[in-house]
Structure 1
């Protein structure tokens, strides 16, 4: 009887221990610049301020502005050698190198068939992921040849967010969380239970709902809450299992501990 009770307690403890993802505070610093959007593994800081992208790293400080295109809708710095800037108002993407010099301009208004792009993210080689609002489809687009390499089936729901690494792409709509591989094949499709944003970390994703963050392992279908102090989450991003949270005054840096 004692043996059975011991096993029951051990199983309960194990299950309980899997109900959240622990964090360890690494550092926090006052940050009066609310334009920080990412920090890469080389400690390069990227800031976005309306029309200008700033880069500050070991090789110096650089900035990029395109006055003809105006405000930058999004900047994806996952591949620092091929940064992409999206100008939604002009249906245009600019590709930059690691010193923020132009590599390529893609004006989707001039390409056939016409694509109305609403989200952009990085991909492998000379490609980017784009979401075409005309067809509700995700495309892996080669910006050198201006051709679509792979295309997904139409998705369901209004698109909320799009993130990727070299091998996978995650599309968040108000209905589902989609995962695609590099060939545009659907890997998984999970219900979206109120999540609004996502970030990618070594094939796993972090999801934001309200003022809380959740962890979804690439091999799991269950989201686990991330244990954090009561912080206002104005902005968050992840670099190599390091979670950055900006609360409007301070930048908090946490190590994710997946027990």
Structure 2
């Protein structure tokens, strides 16, 4: 019976790829960045240039730099009051406030027990999701108590990407995409059909495959291609039905119609 349900689930995903989600062009702006991170409801733009994290608004631009920790691996701004900056080379996470001032520093080389981290993303409250590559599982880590609240069952294939909101965390591996709730329990999974990057959009996902963006609807369990022009996607982000696509020097905005 389980095999039949799984077959039906995968079949729905495959068939839905023939449908497209419309995206209406809004605007394009110039942006000189190495990595585009996000743009939030308050029109704050986050990006990395020359290994420096910038937060730019209409009024001013502020930045954060910590060259002693090496290159920035990833930045997560889902909670703008607790921004997570991951320095993978030195196995360290910095928590920043909305002024990009340091709130906490997590050096997992010195914390006990030792954790060898490859990916992080935002959790709820005072937590972050960590992928422990020695044990191949996710941990919901409380950085105030320095303890893991929950751990997931280990996965068997290489991790490609990690994203989250306050309720769920999505782990993309070469073989599968996994969705976990904030208790670390598996909600669903499906086979990875060539996707390389993911972004959370409410309870849904935007998935990138071969320079094409796709929309995963969590209610209908379907995947549909997003109808946008051909472009070389460097990074993408979505919030409030606005899809941002960065193509080196240019930041495009599209209005998604997912209803």
> Per-residue displacement from partner, 1:159-215 (whole Å, max 9, x unpaired)?
000000111001000000100001111000100000000011111100000110111
Q: Which residue of 2 aligns with 1:179?
A: 179
TM-score of the pair, normalised by structure 2: 0.90
8 Å CA contact 1:50, 1:72 repeated in 2 = no
Q: Which residue of 1 aligns with 2:238?
A: 238
Q: Distance in 2 between matches of 1:54 and 1:246?
A: 16
- Kindly indicate whether residue 182 of structure 2 is the aligned counterpart of residue 189 of structure 1: no
Q: Which residue of 2 aligns with 1:165?
A: 165
> Per-residue displacement from partner, 1:4-28 (whole Å, max 9, x unpaired)?
xxxxxxxxxxx99x81111111112
Alignment of 1:108-147 (within 5 A): 108-147=108-147
Q: Distance in 1 between matches of 2:55 and 2:245?
A: 19
TM-score of the pair, normalised by structure 1: 0.90
Structure 1 range deviating more: 18-27 or 208-217: 18-27
> Per-residue displacement from partner, 1:71-106 (whole Å, max 9, x unpaired)?
111111111000011011111100000001110000
Q: Which residue of 2 aligns with 1:220?
A: 220
8 Å CA contact 2:35, 2:235 repeated in 1 = no
- In structure 2, the CA distance between the partners of 1:211 and 1:179, relative to structure 1 (3 Å rule), is same
Structure with the bigger RCO (C-alpha within 8 Å, sep 6+) is: 2
Regions of 4+ moved over 4 Å = none
Structure 2 unpaired stretches of 5+: 1-14
Q: Distance in 1 between matches of 2:252 and 2:178?
A: 29
Q: Which residue of 1 aligns with 2:9?
A: none
Alignment of 1:1-259 (within 5 A): 19-57=19-57, 60-259=60-259
Q: Which residue of 2 aligns with 1:9?
A: none
- In structure 2, the CA distance between the partners of 1:56 and 1:249, relative to structure 1 (3 Å rule), is closer
Structure 1 range deviating more: 63-72 or 139-148: 63-72
8 Å CA contact 2:118, 2:133 repeated in 1 = yes
Structure 1 range deviating more: 203-212 or 244-253: 244-253
What's the Cα RMSD here?
1.8
> Per-residue displacement from partner, 1:16-53 (whole Å, max 9, x unpaired)?
9x811111111122334444321111110111124311
The structure with the largest alpha-carbon Rg is 1
Q: Distance in 1 between matches of 2:103 and 2:33?
A: 28
Q: Which residue of 1 aligns with 2:12?
A: none
